[in-house]
């Protein structure tokens, strides 16, 4: 059995997740993997589980956070 890098659970069905930059970890659940590997919003700090918004080299959870931090002229939806 392997031990989860996030919670320390010794579990028989762990998995290894490797990011493009080579960072990897062993996890017992997607929840633990998200806590350890998902990006955090540069404004509010929440875990970005969806696509997020990138402005320059920063990742944000939504356009509101991106605007608040960078002043970027972006929105989450297109007006009709």
Which one is predicted more confidently, 1 or 62? 62
27 three-state secondary structure: strand
pTM of the model: 0.78
| Residue 15: closest CA among 57, 78, 31 | 31
Q: Is residue 79 scored above 70 in pLDDT?
A: no
Q: Is the pLDDT of residue 80 over 80?
A: no
Alpha-carbon radius of gyration of the chain: 16
> pLDDT tens, 20-42?
999 999 999 999 999 999 999 99
């Amino acid at each position: 059995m392997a031990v989860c890098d996030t919670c320390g659970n010794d579990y028989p069905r762990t998995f290894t997740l490797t990011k493009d930059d080579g960072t990897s970890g062993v996890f017992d659940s997607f929840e633990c993997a998200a806590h350890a590997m998902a990006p955090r919003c540069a404004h509010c700090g929440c875990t970005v589980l969806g696509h997020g918004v990138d402005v320059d080299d920063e990742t944000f959870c939504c356009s509101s956070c991106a605007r608040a931090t960078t002043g970027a002229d972006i929105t989450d939806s297109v007006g009709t």
